[in-house]
Each structure stands twice: as C-alpha cells, then as structure tokens.
Amino acid sequence: MPDDTDRRILRQLQADPFASTAELAERAGVSAAVAWRRLEKLTSAGVLESVEAVVDWRALGYGVEVSLRITLNKTQTNAFDEMSAAARLVPEVTEIQTFLGRVDLRLTVLARDMAHYTQTYRDRILTLPHIQDIEQLMLISTVKDEQALPI
Amino acid sequence: MSLDLDDLDRSILRALAADARQPASAIGRSVGLSQPATWRRVKRMEDAGILSGRRVRLNAAKLGFDVTVFLGVKLATKGRSSVADFERAISAVPEVQLVQHVLGAYDYRLRVVARDLSDFERILRRRIMTLPGVGEVEANVLLSEERRPGPIG
C-alpha cells in the first residue's frame, strides 16, 4: 500500500501531468532521487498505470458522443463475453463497461454527426448480440472530467 | 476545423494515448519516422487541439478505492439557475470524478469513487442527495471497464 510520500508525489502528478520528476520532487518536498525511485516503484507495482495523452474527439471531427446503456438477455450464459467481444470490433466504441444494477453494460459511441451516429447505431450497435433493451444518453457537455482520485 | 490525419498521424496518436511521456525519438522508431518528423506531426496535432492535454491513470483499487459507481441523476427543478447551482455544487465534491450533462432519461451522468459501499452510501446521502434540485437517482456499480482506441484505432 502506498505511503504518505507516495501519495504526495501522485497528488502532484495528478495536479500537473506535464511536470518533470524534478518539479514533482520539489512540490512534494522530497529529493529528485527519492521522487524518481518512488515513481518507478509505483509504476512497477501497477499503482501508476499510465500518463496518457488526451485526444479531443471534437477537434478530430467527432462531434457526437452517446452513452448507450444496455440490458442484456442474461438467459444466454455467454451474453457478457460475446457482447464485449463484438463491441470491440466497432471502431466508434471508445469504452466498454459492465455493471451491477439496472444496467448491465455501457458503451460510449462516437460519431462525426447525427447522420453518422444513426447509421452506426443501426448497422453496428443494434446488430450486437444479446441486447434486450438500449437507452441512449446524448452528451450535451462535460462539466467536470478529472478522473483524479481524491488521494 | 478538422485536420486530415494520415495513418502515421493516427499511429502517433495511438502511441501517445497509451504513453504520453515517451520521447518523439521512441515514437518515431516505432512508426518509422525520424525524431524531427515525428515532433512536427505531434506539434501540428497539438496546435489543432487534437492533443488537448494529459491524464494520469492510477489504479483505484491499489489506492484503497474499491468501489466506482455511475449515477444517473434527474433534476427535480429545472431552469438556468438550478442547473448552474447543481453543476457548481456537484463539481466541488472530490469523489465525483466525472459530471456530464446529457439528453435522455437522465439529466446528468456522474462517476463516483469510494473506499467501499458504506463510504459510497455516505457520499451519496451527505454530499449528493443534499444538493439543490436533485430528484431521482439511479446507481450502477462498475464491475469492469475497458478503454478502446476509438476511431483512430
């Protein structure tokens, strides 16, 4: 389990993912060597999974984002696996999540515009296996997207 | 507004989306470009706003956050001021990682992290249900999640 020093360094990294190890060290109040060693250890332990570039899909021409909340026909034993495998083949799908609750599975689907979305929905989504019901939530705006952990 | 990307640009985007800290020389080697040529393409995509920042991915469970819940929230009262009040108040809750205004059966989608289910219940009751305008709330507990490269894949 990460200790206080680890958490301080990770907190600084979350606050500024562009910071160098030396800058993180200074802000966390440790030496650069300590920060470097801790980050190496946190990475190899799988605590720090990655620092990723954020792709702005709107700037790439994908102006429509829809969250599809799917109820599966669970009388089919492999419904989750077969659905996930089929959804991986649809390039417009950016997220596949499974849930415990009223919703079984959720997909995030991107499209260039409404015409492209309608076509994707009909040709690639409705043809996915074991769907019992789908609810669509269309993204209007993202108010907060930090995905930072309150450590 | 949208830049025409070729296969090399898409390969570079994929590489950066997996690891933003790798040097241009390493990305160049993997896609078959020189370091300066790679750097120019990265710069062009940054200038076009396609590369819009960086995100740190931490393993929630290994940091003691065992539960992630998605909430669908309906506002009981609508109107410009209640929407603004709700958005401001919900964004200030540290356990709420994502707030999206949506069109459909719910008004908002929230992603909430918690240490365990009782911690989640505390956050829901004390920090979320008490916010102005909150009406019906639906909770679904995340079991697994997978991110895909999307249309650049």
* Cβ pair B60:A149 closer than 8 A: yes
Cβ neighbourhood burial of A46 (10 Å; 0-12, 13-18, 19+): exposed
Taking the CA of residue B134 and the nearest CA in chain A, the distance in Å comes to 16
Domain segments of chain A as ranges: 4-44, 64-138
Question: Which chain B positions have a beta carbon within 8 Å of A151's beta carbon?
Answer: 58, 63
The topology under which CATH files domain A4-44 is Arc Repressor Mutant, subunit A (1.10.10)
Q: Give the model's pLDDT for residue B133.
A: 86
Report the pLDDT averaged over residues B15-38: 94
* C-beta separation of B68 from B116 below 8 A: no
Q: Which of B11, B6, B13, B5 is nearest to A55 (CA)?
A: B13
Task: Map residue A96 onto helix, strand or coil.
Answer: strand
Question: Which segments of chain A have a pLDDT < 70?
Answer: none
Q: Tell me if A93 sits within 8 A of B148, measured CB to CB.
A: yes
Rounded mean pLDDT of chain A?
95
Q: Are A120 and A98 in contact (CB under 8 A)?
A: no
At residue B49, the 3 state secondary structure works out as coil
Measured between beta carbons, the chain B residues lying within 8 angstroms of A51 are 19-21, 54-57
Average pLDDT over residues B38-65: 94
- Interface confidence, given as ipTM, is 0.89
Domains of chain B listed by start with CATH number? 7-47 (1.10.10.10), 61-141 (3.30.70.920)
| Chain B residues with CB-CB distance to A117 below 8 A | none
Q: Residue A1: what pLDDT?
A: 80
- Quick check: A113 and A121 in contact, CB under 8 A? no
CATH fold, domain A64-138, is Alpha-Beta Plaits (3.30.70)
Q: pTM of the prediction?
A: 0.90
Residues A54, B147: C-beta atoms closer than 8 Å: no
Q: Is some CB atom of chain B closer than 8 A to the CB atom of A74?
A: no
